[in-house]
Chains A and B, each alone.
Chain A
Amino acid sequence: AQSVTQLDSQVPVFEEAPVELRCNYSSSVSVYLFWYVQYPNQGLQLLLKYLSGSTLVKGINGFEAEFNKSQTSFHLRKPSVHISDTAEYFCAVSEYSSASKIIFGSGTRLSIRP
């Protein structure tokens, strides 16, 4: 069975600083990988996804993530954050074979300091 680990429950950064949110996954088969964002009092929306091909994936709002198969990681990065990026971020995985369900990590709360 697949699983997702987000090691950092909270990440505080200053505005305009770079940020990296870490995600590691475990699966015995190939997977699709996703990052979702949840703004306060809202549902989840897709930031980006990795399906195949180039390991660097670009998403909305200037975010990007890099798939590393050998390290089973899919870390999310942004070179310069804004106050509006304050949100909770979830990494998620879905297996190639059936893609019946998406399994989520525990989330990372990103707080931006002015």
Chain B
Amino acid sequence: DADVTQTPRNRITKTGKRIMLECSQTKGHDRMYWYRQDPGLGLRLIYYSFDVKDINKGEISDGYSVSRQAQAKFSLSLESAIPNQTALYFCATRSETREAEAFFGQGTRLTVV
């Protein structure tokens, strides 16, 4: 089984709909992250969480919200989806060790029509 699992893998939704992307990890790490990937822009940080009670905005949090349901679960919501939120979304987890690398899920390809 993958260390970081994202569901769904692909989703098409209509403008104005609410949608939730889910992420779970088995690494036992406290830190979890949501990124979006757009061609030519790389990965941009949406939100990150250090534990269940500690959630922080990243560089592009507008239009998104998150919920940390447990140490292993971190979901991303689009309250009212718009077409420019069409992107590839990645969840990642990382240990507290300062030099630690991040472990990524397989990604969720979201299309807003």
Contacts and interface: CB of A to CB of B under 8 A. Distances in A.
Interface of A: 6, 9, 32, 34, 42-46, 49, 51, 90, 94, 96, 98-107
A96 B48 CA distance: 18
Given A43-B106, A101-B45, A34 B90 contact: no
Given A46-B101, A105-B42, 7 more contacts: A32-B98, A43-B107, A44-B43, A94-B99, A99-B99, A102-B102, A107-B40
B105 A9 contact: no
Contacts of A101: 33, 45, 48, 58
Contacts, number: 57
Interface of B: 4, 31, 33, 35, 40-45, 48, 50, 56, 58, 90, 92, 94, 97-102, 104-107
A54 to B, nearest CB: 15
Contact of A104 (B31, B43, B50): B43
A96 B98 contact: yes
Nearest to A98: B98
Given A43-B105, A101-B48, A101-B58, A9 B100 contact: no
Contacts of A104: 35, 42-44
B69 to A, nearest CB: 21
A111 B90 CA distance: 23
30 contacts: A6-B42, A9-B40, A32-B98, A32-B99, A34-B101, A42-B106, A43-B4, A43-B90, A43-B106, A44-B43, A44-B90, A44-B92, A44-B104, A46-B101, A49-B99, A96-B98, A98-B98, A99-B99, A100-B31, A100-B48, A100-B50, A100-B56, A102-B33, A102-B94, A103-B45, A104-B42, A104-B44, A105-B42, A106-B40, A107-B40
